[in-house]
Homo-oligomer: A and B are copies of this chain.
Amino acid sequence: MAGKTIRVTVWGEFRHEKKNEAVRKVYPDGMHKAIQAGLAKNADMSVRTATLDEPENGITDAVLAQTDVLTWWGHTAHGEVQDAVVDKIQKRVLEGMGLIILHSGHFSKIFRRMLGTNCSLKWREVGEKERLWVVEPSHPIAQGLGEYFELPHEEMYGERFDIPTPDKVVFVSWFEGGEVFRSGCCWERGFGRMFYFRPGHETYPTFFDANVQKVLTNAVRWAAPNFYGQHPCPNTKPLETIHSVDPATGKAGVKQ
């Protein structure tokens, strides 16, 4: 994507922020606005937002057509995302669009749809320390990070995380309370790239963290497509002369 602007849409559920004072104190404009602001610092990205309560959940055909990478944070209202919207996002990822799923988005319809698994995990909310180890230092998503980085307070997610074996596990988390987690996971589906990133609970300022912002910047660049394509299922002519006689039709071979 060198030289091209990456068009990012940051999707936020935007419910906790309206109802919960503790969340609003951390993210007064909504989590999506904080994620947007972090990405918008990059000169190679143009970043819009979309939220659940907008028409068509904010994911209209026009928005999708102008989105290279979609980031997704949801938690309390996964069930309210319209199935037709999930269908459209899946189709667009298979055509090439990048998809970045954040934290509690592990239980979103679109993540489970893309992976086919339950995406369940263990969890605990006590504001404990998380240390993310960089397991693949040469991966594009790990560029500019040290051997690890820490978040002083986060919700814990623990294994077993029910996902298909990732192509690459970039980060593995250590938690103060004794658990581990595959916190940065890459897959490809169709022509699109997908990344799951674990941190990002609504009561902690995780999306203002410099290392987290670096990860999201790297992930957007990694997931940005160089290629878009369709998935037709064509009836095709042979490229070579066929000498076999089809017993079903009795026809004596097929010529090019």
Interface residues, chain A, with chain B CB atoms under 8 Å away: 2-3, 22, 90, 94, 96, 107, 113-118, 120-129, 131, 133-138, 140, 143, 147, 152-153, 156, 158-162, 164-165, 167-169, 172-180, 182, 187-192, 203-204, 225-227, 229, 231-240, 242-249, 251, 253-254
Q: State the Cβ distance, A169 to closest chain B Cβ, in Å.
A: 7
Contacts beyond the supplied A174-B179, A204-B248: 18 A-B pairs with Cβ under 8 Å: A116-B189, A121-B233, A122-B235, A126-B251, A127-B248, A133-B179, A133-B180, A134-B160, A135-B159, A137-B227, A137-B229, A140-B226, A159-B172, A165-B167, A176-B243, A178-B238, A179-B239, A203-B247
List the B side residues contacting A118 at CB < 8 Å.
Answer: 94, 190, 231
Q: Would you list 30 pairs from A and B whose C-beta atoms are within 8 A, ordered by A residue? A: A22-B248, A90-B116, A107-B233, A114-B116, A116-B116, A117-B190, A118-B190, A120-B232, A121-B233, A122-B233, A122-B236, A125-B235, A125-B248, A126-B251, A127-B244, A127-B249, A133-B158, A133-B159, A152-B244, A153-B247, A164-B189, A169-B169, A172-B172, A173-B180, A174-B174, A174-B179, A176-B240, A178-B238, A203-B248, A204-B247
Copies of the chain in the assembly: 4
Which residue of chain B lies nearest to A123 when distances are taken between CB atoms in the complex? B235
Determine which residue in A203, A233, A254 has the highest number of CB atoms from chain B within 10 A of its CB, and name it.
Answer: A233
A96 and B162 CA atoms in complex are apart in Å by 12
Tell me how far the C-beta of A238 lies from the nearest C-beta in chain B, rounded to whole angstroms.
Answer: 3
CB-CB under 8 A from A234, the residues of chain B are 122-123
Inter-chain contact B168/A165, CB cutoff 8 Å: yes
Shortest CB–CB separation between residue A142 and chain B, in angstroms? 8
Q: List B contacts of A160 (CB < 8 A).
A: 133-137, 147
> Which of B96, B107, B123, B169 is close to A138, meaning CB atoms less than 8 Å apart?
B96
